[in-house]
A and B are shown apart, each in its own frame.
Chain A
Amino acid sequence: MAEFKKADSMLEWFDQRLGVVNFAKVMMTEYWIPKNINFLWAMGVLLTVLFTFLVVSGIFLLMYYKPDVNMAFDSVNYTIMQEVAYGWLFRHIHAVGASVVFLVIYIHMFTGIYYGSYKKGREMIWVSGMLLFVLFSAEGFSGYMLPWGQMSYWAAYVITELFGGIPFIGNELVVWIRGNFYVSDSTLTRFFMLHVLLLPLLIIGAIVFHFYALRFPHVNNEEGEFFDFDEEAEKYKAGDKKGSKVVAFWPVFLSKDFFVLGFFMLFFFYLTFFHYGFAMDAINFDKADGLKTPAHIYPEWYFLWSYEVLRGFFFDIAGISGKSLGLIAFGIANVIFFLLPWLDRSPMVKPANQRPYFKYWFWLMMADLVVLTVFGKLPPTGINAWIGFASSMTFLILFASLPFITKAEAKKAGGK
């Protein structure tokens, strides 16, 4: 064992045992972030903070929630909302936080796409991010079931039913997922387990992995510029802070993030206290009733675009049923973003608007996702069904054409 000399300060005492000084350097004061970034680079920290809010409010909810079909609804709407001191506050933070976290995830994702932060060494950042997206989706879906309202029940019914479309094993799979032939107490209890234990554990793991994946390729910047981080860091440490292209994570990068966070939280608390209806659907304040189908069934807003891709195929094509086609398209929609780094064949790392062809692709994709989201909620009748079909097709075609568009772009750029 190494010799320990008596520590002169508490810091030194801890440093001897845990190496905290070096740790703080590596993680904070000498973790280098490009200077040339805008507030969109604060989204990751916003997500970390929102996730913390969700965990803390979730722990409070967990103390009173009852995962049982006969008690769940009242334990949420009466015990927590009315009896427990500030129980309503935790529920509002949790429900609104779960919805807003997706808004920020989408902004974060499309920032990554816009600035090309998913390629040329940043593939693992992207893949770990998509993993987080999938885990958060599962977390959102399982959480929505817990209050056991009408929409909890029917969304669970419709989404678990989807697995029935998988060839050969479909029906057995549905029963396996539900733990029963229909959505029942066993379904609620197992989704409760997923929501409060397994998925949060995986999410924490994936966040750590995501942060780790950022270390080597480094964070991207507004111009997609590649430079030597070590050289710039040396400049910074030597005192040329203005000339260096990097800043320290602490306090420089985080000071900006805190500022963005402050105004974002103002918006967040406004929603939490005064405008929460979008995150707590009115229909879910009716207790689940398996005999009474609501007139309109729709998922939470953040699933609407993929739900619309599923519904878009409402007629048979070439002998394949619309239902199967929808399911295939839905499957593709849920994994295709994982492949983005390999579908984009252009080596250019630039903001989309500086890329000759990709910019059209990007803005068309944004417009299409907005249309899918809006029509995902509307009843799929008359012209709506056709708009749904057209926008679902557009989504698939956009992805299918991406390799060709970007290949052509690479050629054009190379020829210059």
Chain B
Amino acid sequence: MEFIYISLAVALVLLVLHFVMLKLSLNKEVRILVIIASLVGFTYWGIEPYAHHIMHPEVAEADFTFKDLKNVDTSLAGNAENGKVLVEANCIACHSIESAGFPQMMPNADAAASYGVVPPDLSSAGRIYDKNYLANFIFDPVSAMHLQHKYTPESGKSFPMPSYNWMSAQEIMDIVAYFESIAPKVAEGSEAHKQSFDAACGRCHSMAYAGSEALTPAETIKNYMGATPPDLSQYIKSRGHHYLNNFINDPQVLLHGTSMPRVGLTEKAQEEVIAYMEEVGDRKKAERETLGLWVMLYTLIFAILAYLWKRKIWSEVH
């Protein structure tokens, strides 16, 4: 319906344009150009922006506050020292924290075999994960990840990390404060981009065009997730910024039922991840844009010279 209204409006505009052009007694070639540009422009609008909007309806804006998660009172101020004690007692049996001197206990393949997926190193947890998300994740990982549909009692599967819902909100916030205190400061730019990607996505996804392979072996992860997570080398091109931004923030919104967890990245970390995907997937972007301007400038000069030459030649025959 919408389409019909818009088309009628366009037809009306064209009609008016037609009479205005006649009234102005515009040069005939200009009139032809206007007609062609309108037809082509309208068709373009129909097969690109309009079709895109129909095939990929808008979804809710990405929510970087994770406001659906309310199990932990995140207004409490955490005590990093107490958090350290809690982490050492509860987390390092499975997780490495290289930045705090807790190395990985076993090779990736063995870790993957024991847990289904390689448990993440927690060094940068305090930097890349949203505070609210992280607290609620510790409280109950599965609901934070929006993967309740996968770990149903009937499925017989359970997520390898237990819920720490027996902890008090204060204790959880202490843990969060500890992670924030140990997160390494990283430089801005491509190094940070890669680091965020590796920490947030690299356990499951490969990036072949950057020469990196998922930490968890493909076979193991297929058993664990039900599907092999795709290589992300070209995802910046096949999905684009806008889609990735919504998707990473909460995969279920765009791909209902997917096995990919919501990872809970802060807006900044997510921007870094996407920037990295662009650096790998569209490596020549900067070169393309600079060269593009030069080529267009050159062509403009050619066009102007050609116009002057045409004027001179045609003045002899008109």
A residues with CB within 8 A of B = 35, 38-40, 74, 77-78, 81-82, 88-89, 92, 103, 107, 241-242, 244, 247, 251-252, 255-256, 258-259, 261-263, 265-266, 269-270, 272-274, 277-278, 282-286, 295-296, 301, 304, 366, 370-371, 373-374, 376-379, 383
Contacts and interface: CB of A to CB of B under 8 A. Distances in A.
A301 B47 contact: yes
Contacts of B29: 38-39
Interface residues on B, range: 35 or more
Interface of B: 1, 3, 7, 28-29, 32-33, 36, 39-40, 42-44, 46-48, 50-51, 54-55, 208-209, 230, 233-235, 237-240, 283-284, 287-289, 291-292, 295-296, 299-300, 302-307, 309-310, 313-314, 316-318
Nearest to B298: A269
Contact of B299 (A38, A78, A266, A374): A266
B46 to A, nearest CB: 3
A40 B233 CA distance: 43
Contact of B289 (A107, A242, A273): A273
Contacts of B318: 35, 242
A255 B314 contact: yes
B304 A262 contact: yes
7 contacts: A39-B32, A77-B234, A82-B283, A88-B288, A242-B317, A278-B47, A278-B48
Nearest 8 A/B pairs, CB to CB: A262-B303, A273-B292, A374-B46, A285-B238, A285-B237, A259-B310, A258-B306, A255-B313
A362 to B, nearest CB: 12
Contact of B306 (A261, A295, A379): A261
Given A274-B292, A373-B46, 9 more contacts: A78-B209, A81-B283, A259-B309, A261-B306, A262-B307, A270-B296, A273-B296, A278-B47, A282-B238
Contact of A255 (B50, B284, B299, B309): B309
A373 B43 contact: yes
Nearest to A103: B40
Contacts of A78: 208-209, 233
B55 A296 contact: yes
Given A242-B317, A259-B310, A366 B39 contact: yes
Given A88-B284, A252-B317, A377 B51 contact: yes
Given A263-B303, A379-B55, A39 B33 contact: yes
Tell me the dominant secondary structure on chain B's binding face: helix
A255 B51 contact: no
Given A82-B209, A255-B310, A259-B310, A295 B55 contact: yes
Given A296-B55, A373-B43, A282 B240 contact: yes
B292 A374 contact: no
A258 B288 contact: no
B307 A259 contact: yes
Contacts of A263: 303
B46 A286 contact: no
A278 B313 CA distance: 38
Given A89-B291, A256-B310, A370 B46 contact: yes
B239 A282 contact: yes
A279 to B, nearest CB: 11
Given A38-B28, A103-B40, A261-B306, A378 B299 contact: no
A245 to B, nearest CB: 10
A383 B314 CA distance: 53
Contacts of A378: 51, 54-55
B51 A374 contact: yes
Nearest to B301: A262
A377 B313 contact: no
Contact of B296 (A88, A92, A266): A266
Contacts of A273: 288-289, 291-292, 295-296
Contacts of B28: 38
Contacts of B309: 255, 258-259
A350 B231 CA distance: 59
A282 B281 CA distance: 13
Nearest to A383: B1
A295 B52 CA distance: 13
B241 to A, nearest CB: 11
Contacts of A241: 316-317
Given A251-B313, A273-B288, A286 B306 contact: no
Contact of B302 (A74, A262, A270): A262
B32 A262 contact: no
B106 to A, nearest CB: 33
A19 to B, nearest CB: 27
Nearest to B296: A269
Contacts of B240: 282
B50 A374 contact: yes
Q: Specify which of B28, B50, B208, B296 lies most central, judged by the most chain A CB atoms within 10 Å of its CB.
A: B296
Contacts of A258: 306, 309-310
Contacts of B51: 374, 377-378
A256 B313 CA distance: 9
Given A38-B32, A78-B209, A103-B40, A286 B310 contact: no
A89 to B, nearest CB: 7
Nearest to A296: B55
B55 A272 contact: no
Contacts of B230: 286
B292 A272 contact: yes
A154 B105 CA distance: 46
B259 to A, nearest CB: 15
Contacts of B36: 107
Contact of B47 (A81, A242, A286, A373): A373
Contacts of B304: 262
Contacts of A370: 39, 42-43, 46
A266 B292 contact: no
Contacts of B50: 374
A388 to B, nearest CB: 12
A371 B54 CA distance: 16
